[in-house]
Structures are given as structure tokens and as C-alpha cells.
């Protein structure tokens, strides 16, 4: 058992030794790679930025859903169709708005009928109020006349008659021979019945005198003072009622005017709302502002409008563009945008037109950077750049994609080296890596321009220099 274990261990050790020896021999057999070197050449240097751009119309109008309009698209003209100015290119479903308009119109008619009723009844109400005021004023005048009559007292003939009513029975009583009849009765010359009649007549005259004196006394100012005071109170009460009635009439008339004015304001408000709703109904139709071709804008960056989609105020749903003049829109990243300026020459190419180049120029560089996808604000930022064709080409159509070559800089017959052959070790100092006898030698150079792959150098060179690409590139 022990012998077998030792045998296994010995075989394993031998195998390991042989493997290590073979590996060492293999390593010694590999030859070191030659240093990568390229020649320094003299040629034209061009710094060109390449990107993709889309042809868009120079003149185009975007039609947005009007404010406070919402619903679904029930009609949308197909993209690419030519339309005249005023043609309906899209329509928003207004069924709900029509239903609300019908209900609102009924209320509007009721409010208008109420206003007409109030305006028709206002003159009658005013006449009624004014007649009540005049009745109270008439009662006040009558009470004032009664007061004046009461203060003046009985008329002259009534006072004379009262005086006569006192004087006549007094004279009759003084002339009545009651004492003589009493004497005759005592002597037996007069019957008792006649005496009683004489006494009764005397009492009658006495009563008549007292009644006439009382009537005369009632005509005096002192006796009639309560009656005068009552008449004064009645006249004052009538005046106050007339004044209250007048103030009440003013208040009622003001209330009528206010009520009618408020109703008129309500009707005007309903008219404005009705006009606004009608405008919203009319705004459901989007009409072409110019002659042109129908285009669909991108909504939320990727979706185009379609019939049946839900829309609301401010949402762009269709564009009308003039396709006889086109421009190119492209995007340049934030690292390359410092090289792009308005006026730079541009060449445009497309696989659809092999061998054909369209000249153009940069016209505008936006100042605000944007993310490639605004919904995912990560990564590089890009600047929108507008490019104008030097001459409109009939074969180019709207929304086509072109390859954009922006000529940033061109230098004639300069020394050009690969970017990997130049390194920067100090601030504002660049070094060219030369290969000499298998070694790398650094030589300070002046860089005239850079592109994505090459650099243009200033200096005297023989043209036989070999550039090392091993230790090249910018270094900290």
C-alpha cells in the first residue's frame, strides 16, 4: 500500500517537471514584436466632422390644438398630401362639446327670456310704485288740510249760530212769566196743571241754554286743543308715511334696476361663454395657413399623430410646409461643437445618389445643449446645427436623411501624422515619437491643427522619418 502511494507521487512529480520544462522552452521560442512604425507624409490636411442630418422645409407652420380644446382626432389628412390655404387638415371630435353646447343654449335662452320679461315688466312696476307714492302724498296733503281746518275752527256762521242758540233761550227764559204764574197759583187763580207746564217749559229753556252754552264752549280754542293735537299727529303720520313710501319706492326702483342689470350681466356672461364655446367648436377644425404639403410632427420624440388619438390644447398634430425650399438639421456633440461656426462649408452625400455631392453652408448653431434622448438625460449632450443648401436640388425631398460633412479646417501641403504618434507631457508642449534603430525618440513639435485621427505639424522634416505608434497619444 505504501509502495503504491509513493509510486503515484513520483509519477506526478515527474509529469510536473516535464510540463514546466516544455513551457520554458516555448517562452524562449517567442520572438518580440517589432515596434509599429509609419512614415511621416506631406499632404493636404482636412478636419471634417461627419454626422447625419434630416432635410426639413425652411418654411413650415405647425398647427397645435387650440387652447381649451380636447377630444380625439376624427380626421387627419395623409402625410405628403398637397393642400391649399384654408383646407381642413385635421378635425377634433366635438361630440361632448356639442352636447354641452345644447344644454348651455337652453339655459341661455331661459336667462334671455327672463331678462326680456324683467325689462317688459319694469315700466309697470315703476308705475305701480309711483302710484303708491302719489296716494301716500295725497293722503298727507288731505291730513294737512284737515289740520289746517281744525286749527281754524268753526266757520263764522257756525259761531254766530251758536251765540244765537245761547241768546235766544236766555231771552225767552228771562221773559217767561214763571214767577207770576207761581203767584196766581198761590192765590188760586191758576190750575196746578198749568203751573207744572210752566215749570217744565222753564226747565226746557234752561236746558236749551246750557246745551247752547256747551256748544259755544266747544268752539273755543282751549276746548278744541286735543282735537287739534290729534289732527297734527295725523298729518305728521301721513307725512312720514309719504316719505317712507317715497324712500321705499326709490329702494324698490333701485332693486328693480339692480335686478335687471344683474340679469343683463348674466345674459352677457352667457353670451360670452356661448361665443367662447362656439369658438372652441369652430377651433376643432385645423385649417392650412399656407399652401403646402402635410407633414406629421414627432410627438414625445417618437410618436406621430393618428386618427383616434386623444389630443388636448397645445399639442402639435400636423404641419404644413413649403417643400420648394429645404434646409438640413443635424446634431453635433458637445466635444466637437467648438469647431463648428456659421459660414463653414458643408458637403452632403446620400447612398441614394452615389457619387453626387451637394454643397451647403452652416447657417446657425444653437446655444443650448440637449440630450440625445430628453426622456433619459444621460450621456453626451448635443447641439442643433442648421445647414442651408447653396442651391436647391430637385431630387432632394423633405424628411430624407443625408450624411453631413462639415469642413472645419483645411491646410494645404503640411506634414500630417497619426494622432497616436503625438503625445503631450507638458502644458502646451507636444512631442512627436520617432522610431530610430528600434528605439523611440521624442521630438518637440508645433501642432497646427487636429482632427479625430490626424494632426498637422509645423516644422522641417526630411520625409524619411518613421513614426512610432507604441507610446503615442496624449499622456498626463
**pLDDT tens digits, one per residue of 53-111:** 998 888 889 999 888 788 889 899 998 899 999 999 999 887 777 777 788 888 889 99
Start-end of H helices in 71-177: 95-152, 156-175
Q: Residue 379 corresponds to which cell in the numbers above?
A: 450621456
pLDDT band at 14 (very low <50, low <70, confident <90, very high): very low
Helix 178-187, helix 192-218: angle, nearest 10: 160
Res. 300: pLDDT tops 60: yes
For 152-201, write each residue's pLDDT tens digit: 777 777 778 888 888 888 888 888 888 888 888 888 888 889 889 988 98
For position 123, what pLDDT does the model report? Answer: 92
For position 4, what pLDDT does the model report? Answer: 36
Question: Could you tell me the pTM of the whole model?
Answer: 0.51
Mean pLDDT of 238-254: 92
At 169 the three-state DSSP class reads helix
- The residue with cell 442643433 is 384
Each as own residue / partner, the long-range contacts of residues 168-176 (CB below 8 Å, 24 or more positions apart, any chain) are: 169/205, 169/206, 169/208, 169/209, 169/212, 170/209, 172/205, 173/202, 173/205, 173/206, 173/209, 176/201, 176/202, 176/205
For 417-476, write each residue's pLDDT tens digit: 888 888 887 767 888 888 888 788 888 888 888 887 888 888 888 888 888 876 555 543
Res. 355: pLDDT tops 80: yes
Mean pLDDT of 324-344: 91
Is the model more confident about 73 or about 26? 73
Instruction: Report the C-alpha dihedral over residues 52, 365, 296, 79, rounded to 10 degrees.
Output: -60
Based on C-alpha coordinates, what's the Rg of the chain? 62
pLDDT band at 29 (very low <50, low <70, confident <90, very high): very low
pLDDT band at 320 (very low <50, low <70, confident <90, very high): very high
The answer to whether 64 and 43 have CB atoms below 8 angstroms apart is no
Helices then strands, each counted (H, E), the chain: 6, 19
Res. 318: pLDDT tops 90: yes
Task: Extract the runs of DSSP E, i.e. beta strands, from 248-372.
Answer: 285-287, 292-295, 310-311, 316-333, 345-349, 358-365, 370-371
For position 470, what pLDDT does the model report? Answer: 66
Each as own residue / partner, the long-range contacts of residues 209-214 (CB below 8 Å, 24 or more positions apart, any chain) are: 209/166, 209/169, 209/170, 209/173, 211/165, 212/162, 212/165, 212/166, 212/169, 213/166
- Helix %, strand %, coil % of the chain (to 5): 45, 30, 25
Round to whole Å and give the CA distance between 147 and 168.
Answer: 33
pLDDT band at 236 (very low <50, low <70, confident <90, very high): very high
For position 1, what pLDDT does the model report? Answer: 33
Contacts (Cβ under 8 Å, ≥6 apart) of 152: none
Q: If we measure between CA atoms, which residue out of 47, 45, 48 comes closest to residue 411?
A: 45
Task: Extract the runs of DSSP E, i.e. beta strands, from 342-400.
Answer: 345-349, 358-365, 370-371, 381-389
CA dihedral for 409, 413, 415, 419, sign (positive or negative): positive
Helix 95-152, helix 225-282: angle, nearest 10: 170
For position 26, what pLDDT does the model report? Answer: 36
Amino acid at each position: 500500500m505504501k509502495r503504491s502511494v509513493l509510486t503515484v507521487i513520483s509519477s506526478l512529480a515527474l509529469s510536473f517537471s516535464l510540463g514546466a520544462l516544455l513551457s520554458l522552452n516555448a517562452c524562449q521560442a517567442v520572438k518580440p514584436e517589432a515596434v509599429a512604425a509609419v512614415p511621416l507624409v506631406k499632404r493636404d490636411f482636412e478636419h471634417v466632422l461627419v454626422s447625419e442630418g434630416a432635410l426639413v422645409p425652411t418654411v413650415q407652420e405647425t398647427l397645435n390644438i387650440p387652447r381649451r380644446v380636447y377630444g380625439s382626432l376624427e380626421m387627419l389628412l395623409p402625410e405628403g398630401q398637397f393642400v391649399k390655404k384654408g383646407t381642413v387638415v385635421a378635425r377634433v371630435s366635438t361630440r361632448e362639446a356639442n352636447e354641452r353646447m345644447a344644454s348651455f343654449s337652453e339655459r341661455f335662452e331661459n336667462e334671455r327670456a327672463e331678462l326680456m320679461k324683467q325689462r317688459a315688466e319694469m315700466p309697470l312696476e315703476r308705475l305701480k310704485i309711483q302710484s303708491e307714492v302719489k296716494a301716500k302724498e295725497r293722503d298727507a296733503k288731505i291730513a294737512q288740510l284737515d289740520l289746517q281746518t281744525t286749527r281754524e275752527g268753526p266757520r263764522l256762521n257756525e259761531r254766530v249760530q251758536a251765540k244765537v242758540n245761547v241768546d235766544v233761550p236766555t231771552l225767552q227764559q228771562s221773559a217767561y212769566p214763571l214767577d207770576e204764574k207761581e203767584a196766581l197759583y198761590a192765590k188760586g187763580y191758576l190750575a196746578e196743571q198749568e203751573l207744572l207746564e210752566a215749570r217744565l217749559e222753564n226747565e226746557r229753556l234752561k236746558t236749551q241754554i246750557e246745551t247752547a252754552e256747551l256748544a259755544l264752549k266747544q268752539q273755543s280754542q282751549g276746548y278744541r286743543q286735543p282735537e287739534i293735537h290729534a289732527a297734527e299727529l295725523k298729518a305728521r303720520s301721513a307725512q312720514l308715511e309719504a316719505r317712507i313710501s317715497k324712500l321705499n319706492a326709490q329702494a324698490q326702483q333701485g332693486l328693480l334696476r339692480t335686478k335687471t342689470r344683474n340679469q343683463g350681466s348674466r345674459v352677457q356672461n352667457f353670451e360670452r361663454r356661448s361665443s367662447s364655446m362656439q369658438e372652441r367648436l369652430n377651433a376643432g377644425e385645423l385649417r392650412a395657413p399656407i399652401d403646402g404639403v402635410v407633414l406629421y410632427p414627432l410627438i414625445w420624440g417618437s410618436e406621430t399623430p393618428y386618427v383616434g388619438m386623444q389630443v388636448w390644447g397645445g399639442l402639435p398634430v400636423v404641419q404644413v410646409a413649403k417643400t420648394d425650399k429645404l434646409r438640413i438639421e443635424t446634431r453635433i456633440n458637445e466635444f466637437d461643437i467648438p469647431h463648428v461656426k456659421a459660414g463653414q462649408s458643408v458637403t452632403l452625400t446620400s447612398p441614394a445618389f452615389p457619387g453626387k455631392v451637394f454643397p451647403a453652408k452652416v447657417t446657425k448653431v444653437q446655444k443650448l445643449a440637449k440630450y440625445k434622448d430628453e426622456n433619459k438625460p444621460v450621456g453626451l449632450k448635443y447641439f442643433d446645427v442648421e445647414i442651408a443648401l447653396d442651391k436647391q436640388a430637385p431630387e432632394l425631398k423633405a424628411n430624407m436623411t443625408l450624411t453631413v460633412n462639415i469642413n472645419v479646417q483645411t491646410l494645404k501641403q503640411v506634414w500630417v501624422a497619426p494622432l497616436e504618434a503625438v503625445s503631450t507631457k507638458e502644458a502646451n508642449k507636444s512631442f512627436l515619437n520617432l522610431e530610430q534603430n528600434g528605439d523611440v525618440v521624442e521630438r518637440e513639435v508645433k501642432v497646427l491643427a487636429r482632427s479625430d485621427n490626424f494632426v498637422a505639424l509645423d516644422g522641417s522634416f526630411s520625409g524619411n522619418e518613421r513614426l512610432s505608434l507604441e507610446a503615442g497619444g496624449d499622456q498626463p
